[in-house]
Structure 1
Amino acid sequence: MSSVSNQNMRASLNERDGFQVWWRLLRPHTLTAAFVPVFVGTMLAALDHGIHLGLFAAMLFASVLIQAATNMFNEYYDFVRGLDNENSVGIGGTIVRDGIRPRTILNLAIGFLVVATLLGVYICASSSWWVAVIGLVSMLLGYLYSGGPYPIAYTPLGELAAGLFMGTIIIGISYYIQSLSLTWEVIVISVPVAIFIGAINLANNIRDRVGDAENGRKTIAILFGHHGAVRFLLSLYVIAYGITVVLTAIGMLPIWSIFTLLSIRKGIQSIRGFAGEKSPLEMMPAMKATAQTNTLYGLLLGISLLLQLFFPFSF
């Protein structure tokens, strides 16, 4: 692509130079998928046992680093495999549009994982060394998601892997390091969060469906087709909100959790944004709305647990 076309693409995506190059590399709209599970898991622990702020901060920072490193591995390996070009939408664009050396991206991702490992040592020393096993598996998954001979991102299992590890497992770890225990209620409560995180992945794959199919991927969005994938995204929203209502009704979640339904508006916005056959660039607002749905739901869920801590209410 010519430099003029490259500039036009950057202008259409509102990309700027300087610090924002590195900020885009992190793909900040995905980082809430790291923050929300830690926040929810910690608030559940605070409600049941109390909270250690140092462990909360370490877990939060480590999770964000792992998510950012995963995004960098994705940027690096998609470029190496020839999947990304100057016209690709939804990527950081630091390699194909900003000219950052691929090796620099890879080294930065590895550096993030090293820092996350050091934080993990502190977490384990302050709680239990069993956490190290799960932490190492999570970091390995972050690499294998887009790296290795059979990247998970190229299969129909991407949404499941993202939801399970970034949702349920991180909520479970966040709860465990605070309480040194884990209950089945925590696992059940984690399910809607896991679904919303998987939905972010699905939305990304809906936007990139055509290009991914041309490059040999077999994502759910490709298997279901555009309209089928959008209907599947809608069904995920219905299931997640339905579970939340049921858990609130039976008392597993506090009555304050009903406020999570305020995030439905963003979910509807994302579904409408994906409706019809649109270009990847035209679907970017829908992708953003999907991530915002997860953010709002997770924040409202965590805040509802905090409200229950200070203003206990029960029927």
Structure 2
Amino acid sequence: MNRARRLFIGVRPWALPFYAITLVVGFLTYNVFTLSAKVVLALLIAVIGELFIHSATNVINDVYDFRRGIDDKEVASIRYHFAYDPEIGHLGAYRLSLTFLAVALALGLVVALLGRPLALLLGIIGAVMGYAYSGPPGLKYRALGDIPVMLAAVLLTLTGYYIASGELALRGSW
């Protein structure tokens, strides 16, 4: 499998649409017919940033599952696993997740410059929740993993609405 395909499969693309859609749903709760092109651009950039945060979370999850012995070579035979790739390994996967987070941060800065500065903070909160899922404190290993998953959905809905409206409230236009 070539490097690009491994990268694509390794971030678990089948899991990525859920949160991106959640962000867009939050955006659509606002009266989208009154939005400027700049706000729509901010949404598109935010969606890409969210995909990078989610990808980083998926990769870091594999890293910590590897480190804790939860994922083994048998898991890697079922689906591609960065930690078991001899060219990447768990340290390379960890660095890859940090790279994804850095890209997301840069995209968050762009969204902030487009007039939605709190989107950067909301993205950082989301990234911390994603990391905490399997990285320290390892919420999923303490049967608490559903908490950041549910909170992320709420946070993304709120973020989408904020990007559309500039307000941190889900009032909608109904």
**Residue of structure 2 in register with 1:21 after alignment:** 6
Of 62, 68, 73, which residue of structure 1 is paired with 2:49?
62
Matched, 1:40 2:28: no
Deviations 1:238-274 (A, max 9, x none): xxxxxxxxxxxxxx6xxxxxxxxxxxxxxxxxxxxxx
| Structure 2 unaligned residues grouped into runs of 5+ | none
Secondary structure, in 3 states, of the residue corresponding to 1:83? coil
Match of 2:81 in 1: 93
Taking structure 1 as the reference length, the TM-score comes to 0.49
Give the alignment's Cα RMSD to 1 decimal.
2.1
Query: Could you tell me which residue of structure 2 aligns to residue 173 of structure 1?
Result: 159
Task: With a CA cutoff of 8 Å and minimum separation of 6, indicate the structure with the bigger relative contact order.
Answer: 2
**TM-score (normalizing by structure 2):** 0.85
Q: Does 2:139 match 1:152?
A: yes
- 1:180-195 to 2 correspondence within 5 Å? 180-185=166-171
Match of 1:132 among 111, 120, 126: 120
- Contact kept? 2:42, 2:163, Cα under 8 Å: yes
Match for residue 79 of structure 1 among 66, 91, 97: 66
TM-aligned CA deviation for residue 32 of structure 1:
0.9
Cα deviation for residue 182 of structure 1 reads: 4.0
d(CA) in 2 for partners of 1:117, 1:106: 17
Q: Structure 1 segments of 4 or more deviating over 6 A?
A: none
Q: In structure 1, what residue type is equivalent to 2:102?
A: V
Q: Is the 8 A contact 2:32 2:164 kept in 1?
A: no
State the alpha-carbon separation in 2 of the partners of residues 160 and 87 from structure 1.
28
Aligned match of 1:123: 111
Aligned to 2:96: 108
Q: Aligned residues: percent identity? A: 24
- Aligned residue-pair number: 168
Give the 3-state SS of the residue equivalent to 1:57 in structure 2: helix
1:42, distance to aligned residue in structure 2 (A): 2.1
User: Which one of the candidate residues 9, 16, 24 is aligned to 1:31?
Assistant: 16
Match of 1:131, SS state, is helix
The offset of 1:129, in angstroms, is 2.8
